[in-house]
Chain A
Amino acid sequence: MRNSLKVARWEFKRNVKNKSFIISLLLTPVLFILFATLPTLLSGSGDDAEPVNVSVSDPSGIWAEQIEPYLSNADLNWEISVVTASPDEWRDGLDEDESAVYLALDEAALRDGQITYYTTEETPDSFAGEVQLLAAPLQQLNLQNAGLSEEQMAAVTNGIQFNAEELSDSEQAAADSGLNELARIIPGAFAGLILFSIVMTGMMIFQSASQEKKEKVSEIVLSSLTPSDLMQGKIIGYFWLGMLQVGVWLLIALPFVIWRFNDFPIMEYLFVPELALLIVIALIGYLLFAALFVGLGATVEDISSTSNFQGMIMMLPFSPLILIGPILSDPNGLAAQVGTYIPFTSPAVLIMRLSLLEEWPWVEIGIALAILVLSVWLVMKLAGKIFEVGILLYGKNASMGEIMKWVRS
């Protein structure tokens, strides 16, 4: 173990000093912040766009009192003016390229419920949707004119709404189910981030083992320690690196996230007991993939000429992606359950499901964890055998047949 830690420290140190690692370490959260803010910034810049000049013809004098108050809460980019001109006069008075609308609210139109508005070429398409906001106050006005009481008017304008409410043992849970969902997703997202980060650095183990072969250093290193020391050291070293990555990402991104979503007490939702289990799942997932990659790396000297088999294994961490859709639509569905029991998809699927489910399926979690731990043990053992022989096989990539022979020996 002492020797493994020496290797771990070395792998950690030499990567931390590596420029490309530092760049990716810092660039990832910056990109995240950029992608999170850019759409808002871009849509924000839409506010500065030319407003639509809405000219309201209001012979009945209803606009200022009855309609305009309804629009005060709506975020409309309208420049409203009440005019007395006819549509033709209005058209003649328009500037070229002006985004403008003429809204005729005459009595006949109100009575028939058919209101015509004239637009120019520059009027945005979104206006057709925005103008629907006027429907409710105008309808209410019509009803009022028909002599309905406030109560009757409310009954007509409110319509019927269906509100879904799930049966739950806890009455309180139903009360603030929206907040609960968020509370579940935050630890899940955090564990997912850890899994993603350490699996990504885990993939660097592949490169490290392969490079060690290519640079012919392994024999010198193995004159001081055993292959299993070297393998364990790499797994531990890259785990530290992954955790450092998570730490730096959080340090940079967390203040931003807290500022951006200041309505939610994120930290309060993050540090809940459930987080511990989610992190354990992420760590077991890391061990599985790290063992896989360290073994695989020892079989490959030239990354550019890897076989399909090795390429397929490199893709394994991404296999849960195909299950995202089915899991989101039904976290207890068949795809979700099958994914829970397959070791390579299990960590990500479990984290996704547990973030979505209100009631955790403890039996399934137990079985999945048992399968995972067993798989880690098995893959570690196989990887150890492959690593021991493969790391010293200089000058060529190992064939599938050779790998099978090492495993059987």
Chain B
Amino acid sequence: MSEIALTVQSLQKSFKDQQVLHDVSFNVRKGEITALLGPNGAGKSTTIRSIMGILYPDHGTIKFHGEKEGQIPKHKIGYLPEERGLYKNVKIMDILLYFAELKDYPQKKAKERALSYLKKFGLEGKDKVSIEELSKGMGQKVQFIASIIHEPELLILDEPFSGLDPVSQEVFKEEIRELARNGTAILLSAHQMNLVEEMADRLIMIHKGREVISGTMDEVKREYASFKCTIHGQNDENKLKTIPYVTRVEQQDNVSVLFLDQNLKAAEWIRKLPSDIQIEEFRLDRISLHEIFIDVASDRTLAAEEEEKYA
């Protein structure tokens, strides 16, 4: 297992009387992409801002390994906040060099890196234009370059894909992967579950400030990746609920979605289906991270559903 770069332990934070973080704990490892997931208002940005020392947690510890207790090695961290922008009326190269200077990164090296990244992101020759002259997507690429210009050991990306077109998403995804391959510890928060599923090595999902799912991508998939069966046809919902391994049924018109227990052996289950079920169309899929996310976001956690079923 790769070396831990950052440990967040029992983080708690309240705004006014409302507690927005309850005991959030996780690790970010070198060379790995850790995804911090959750619906809007779950506490992702609060967690990230606490790590960056922009907010102070009420309780809990944030430890940067290899650093003294309580010290944030700001020059080793790259940060792309959710709410981001760049100075207008200033040349892009000047902005990038300023951010590199703030991180104590050599100017000459920063300039070389800036030029090579601008080229990589299709912004060659734009180093002397101001941000106003660029499109929103181009601006986001510059912001991304600004966050990695100083070769950070830990890269924190808060919603890096928001507002990007699919082509740019792909470029970012590839770059983030490459940074991880080169040993950078990456923590990213995102809404795009398909991208997270493709990229992340590890994930932690929080909802209303509480950790609901965490582990490596494989662990999470193993734990939550049960099947769902979609049947087109006129069927009685209550009857479908009596079929073994069915944990929940969602029915709309003549389409029924059967959520199945994760211990299911698919072939055997299909063979044992009641013969009087009307089947015009039949599909068996894995539950995706996206559905888990939706479930969590709409407060229908799987556990809650199970409780409901066996109550």
Chain A: residues with CB nearer than 8 A to chain B?
3, 6, 10, 13-14, 17-18, 214-217, 219-225, 392, 394
Q: How far, in whole Å, are A225 and B102 apart by their CA atoms in the complex?
A: 7
A3 in contact with B83 (CB, 8 Å): no
Bound complex: CA A14 to CA B90 (Å): 7
Q: B84 in the interface, Cβ–Cβ < 8 Å?
A: yes
Supposing A215-B85, A219-B83 touch, asked if A224 and B99 sit within 8 A by C-beta, the answer is: yes
* Chain B residue, CB-CB nearest to A221: B102
Q: A14-B94, A216-B85 are in contact. List 17 more A-B contacts (CB 8 A).
A: A3-B102, A6-B98, A10-B101, A13-B94, A14-B90, A17-B90, A216-B83, A217-B87, A219-B49, A219-B81, A219-B83, A219-B84, A220-B79, A220-B146, A221-B102, A224-B103, A225-B74
Decide yes or no whether B140 CB sits under 8 A from chain A: no
Give the chain B neighbours of A6 by CB distance below 8 A: 98, 101-102
Q: Does B177 belong to the interface (CB within 8 Å)? A: no
Q: Distance in Å from the Cβ of A228 to the closest Cβ of chain B?
A: 13
Assuming the contacts A10-B98, A14-B90, A392-B54, asked whether A220 and B75 have C-beta atoms less than 8 A apart, the reply is no
Tell me which of B77, B83, B88, B101 contacts A223 (CB under 8 A). B77
Q: Chain B residues near A216: list those with CB within 8 A.
A: 81, 83-85
Q: Which residues of B contact A18 (CB under 8 A)?
A: 89
Instruction: Give the distance to chain B from A263, nearest Cβ to Cβ, in Å.
Output: 46
Tell me whether A215 and B87 are in contact (CB under 8 A): yes
Interchain CB contact under 8 A, A217 and B86: yes
Query: B82-116 interface mask toward A, CB cutoff 8 Å, 1 = contact, 0 = none?
Result: 01111111100010001101110000000000000
Q: Does B52 contact A (CB under 8 A)?
A: yes
CB-CB under 8 A from A3, the residues of chain B are 102
Residue B184 interfacial (CB < 8 Å) = no
A328 to B277, CA, bound (A): 102
**Cα separation A126 to B90 with both chains bound (whole Å):** 59
**Residues from 131 to 145 in B contacting A, C-beta threshold 8 Å:** 143
Q: Which chain B residue shows the least CB distance to A395?
A: B83
Assess whether B102 is in contact with A224, with CB atoms less than 8 Å apart: yes
Q: Interface extent on B, as a size class?
A: 20 to 34
- Per the bound structure, the CA–CA distance linking A215 and B130 in Å amounts to 13
Beta-carbon nearest neighbor of A223 in chain B: B79
User: In the complex, are the beta carbons of A223 and B90 less than 8 A apart?
Assistant: no
Nearest chain A CB to B61's CB is how many angstroms away? 20
The answer to the question of B34 belonging to the interface, with a C-beta cut-off of 8 Å to chain A, is no
Min CB distance, B162 to chain A, in Å? 13
Contact A215 B86 (CB under 8 A): yes
- The complex places the Cα of A219 from the Cα of B83 at a distance, in Å, of 8
- A17 partner residues in chain B, CB cutoff 8 A: 90
Question: In the complex the two chains form, what is the Cα distance from A221 to B52 in whole Å?
Answer: 11
Report Cα–Cα, A220/B98, bound state, in Å: 11
Residues in chain A near residue B81, CB distance under 8 A = 216, 219-220, 223
Q: How far is the CB of A152 from chain B (nearest CB, A)?
A: 80
B89 touches A223 (CB 8 A): no
Asked if B147 is at the interface (CB within 8 A of a chain A CB), the reply is yes
Q: A6-B101, A222-B54, A224-B103 are in contact. Are A217 and B85 (CB under 8 A)?
A: yes
Asked whether B99 lies within 8 Å of A220 as measured between CB atoms, the reply is yes
B2 → A minimal CB distance (Å): 24
* Least distance between A199 CB and chain B CB atoms (Å): 24
Minimum CB–CB distance for B158 against chain A, Å: 9
| A3, A10, A214, A221 pick with most chain B CB within 10 angstroms | A10
User: Are B103 and A219 interface neighbours, CB within 8 A?
Assistant: no
CB within 8 Å of A: which B206-239 residues: none
- A216–B158 CA distance with the chains assembled, in angstroms: 14
B54 lies within 8 A of A220 (CB): no
Please report the C-alpha to C-alpha distance between residue A190 and residue B49 in the assembled complex, in whole angstroms: 47
B282 CB to closest chain A CB (Å) equals 49
Q: How far is the CA of A215 from the CA of B90 in the complex (A)?
A: 12
Option from A224, A225, A394 in Cβ contact (under 8 Å) with B83: A394
Q: What does the 1/0 interface line of B49-91 toward A look like (CB < 8 Å)?
A: 1001010000000000000000000110101110111111110
Counting chain B CB atoms within 10 Å of each CB, the highest count among A18, A214, A220 belongs to: A220
* B49 contacts across to A, CB distance below 8 A: 219
Given contacts A6-B101, A6-B102, A224-B102, are A219 and B54 in contact (CB under 8 A)?
yes
In the assembled complex, 12 residue pairs joining A and B whose CB atoms fall closer than 8 Å, in A order, are A14-B87, A215-B87, A215-B88, A216-B84, A216-B85, A217-B85, A219-B54, A220-B86, A220-B146, A221-B102, A225-B102, A392-B54
Question: With the chains together, A6 CA to B102 CA distance in Å?
Answer: 7
Q: Is the CB of A223 within 8 A of B52?
A: yes
Q: How distant is the Cα of A217 from the Cα of B84 in the complex, in angstroms?
A: 6
A residues within 8 A CB of B147? 220
Q: How far is the CB of B14 from chain A (nearest CB, A)?
A: 13
Please give, as numbers and ranges, the residues of chain A lying within 8 Å of B77 by CB-CB distance.
Answer: 223
